[in-house]
Amino acid sequence: MPILEPLRPDHADAVLAFELANRAWFARTVPDRGDAYFARFDERHAALLAEQAAGICRFHVILDPTGALVGRVNLMDLVDGSAELGYRIAESAAGRGLAKAAVAQLLPLAARTYGLRSLTAATTLDNPASMAVLAHNGFAVTGECVLDGRPAVRYHRDLDGG
């Protein structure tokens, strides 16, 4: 079972290494973060921590049992009891159910700890693994959209308090 930890300052090196090692892998199905993200990573990490401290977003790292960072799962734009869910799993850890398990762990945390009542998410049509994660965790399709110029689908899930 994956271990979720809220993003902390001391995660910076591991997050940067994770993002660099998996950049090409992620770009296959999600918008690339761009060169500026990596060139100014320390500033970006500090900005994420500030957003988290302000209650705007909630960022988490996913660790395997050895403590290695194998993914991220985040709640962005917390407004009026709702947030946007996003996640990414390292290529080396893909296909093991880590995203399904991490999202399942995050749902009660989102409801009980962060006071959220609903979540939204979106994924490109060429990412069936992400669609399976969302379906497995009770998200329902709400419509189509475009992500990074690619056809995508939006999802919604009400939270029941955990």
List of residues 6+ apart from 25 with CB closer than 8 A? 90, 91, 94
* pTM of the predicted structure, to 2 decimals: 0.92
- The runs of H, that is alpha helices, within 66-154 are 98-112, 128-136
pLDDT tier, 161 (very low <50, low <70, confident <90, very high otherwise): low
Type and span of the H or E element at 72 = strand 69-79
Look at residue 28 in the predicted model and tell me its pLDDT. 79
Q: Which domains does the chain have, with CATH numbers?
A: 3-158 (3.40.630.30)
When mean pLDDT is compared over 20-29, 38-47, 71-80, the highest value belongs to: 71-80
